[in-house]
């Protein structure tokens, strides 16, 4: 009986220009969706889109919800809350965070989103990219990618030759 080869991970490299366009599209989609008085960005991936969304929506109160989950092998491990949001953001956020916008770059399995939502259950959760397992946990996103896709964000990559998808020169 032939052995099955594991499915190939799909690569989705995102340039700075593309990410900026996608983050601005997220802000455009969010405009008018709520009375957002502050942003809780999930570090580290949420820092860049949160800055862009904050600029576009005129939001000046930004804090970080610091969660670590991926290890050096690109595998999600145990979630670790390093820091929650500060009292100033919670004060303007209202009941359960209803005036808080949570921003992240990506929702993958939904584990981080579940954890953050448990602390801010009424906040509006927005991501630039969403995978199927995590998509139900976010309120707004721009692009859905397959679960077996690894997104290479511009802050994680350098400029280098990319081999053709087919593997043939």
Return the active site residues: 104-105, 108
Rounded distance between C-alpha atoms, residue 117 and residue 84, angstroms: 12
**H, E, C per residue of 111-141:** HHHHHHHHHCCCCEEEEEEECCCCHHHCCEE
- For residues 97 and 122, the answer to whether their CB atoms sit within 8 Å is yes
In this structure, what is the dihedral angle of CA atoms 29, 30, 34, 35, given to the nearest 10 degrees?
-140
């Amino acid at each position: 009986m032939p052995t099955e080869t594991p499915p190939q991970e799909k690569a989705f490299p995102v340039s700075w220009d593309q990410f900026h366009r996608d983050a601005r599209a997220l802000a455009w989609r969010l405009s008018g969706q709520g009375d957002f008085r502050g942003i809780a960005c999930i570090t580290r991936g949420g820092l860049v889109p949160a800055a862009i969304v904050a600029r576009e929506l005129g939001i000046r109160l930004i804090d970080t919800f610091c969660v670590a989950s991926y290890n050096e092998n690109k595998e999600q491990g145990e979630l670790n809350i390093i820091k929650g949001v500060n009292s100033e953001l919670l004060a303007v956020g209202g009941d359960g965070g209803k005036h808080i916008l949570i921003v992240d770059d990506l929702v993958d399995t939904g584990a981080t989103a579940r954890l953050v939502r448990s602390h801010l259950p009424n906040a509006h959760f927005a991501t630039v990219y969403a995978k199927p397992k995590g998509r139900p946990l976010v309120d707004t996103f721009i692009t859905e990618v397959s679960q077996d896709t690894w997104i290479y964000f511009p802050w994680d990559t350098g400029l280098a030759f990319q081999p053709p998808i087919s593997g043939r020169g």
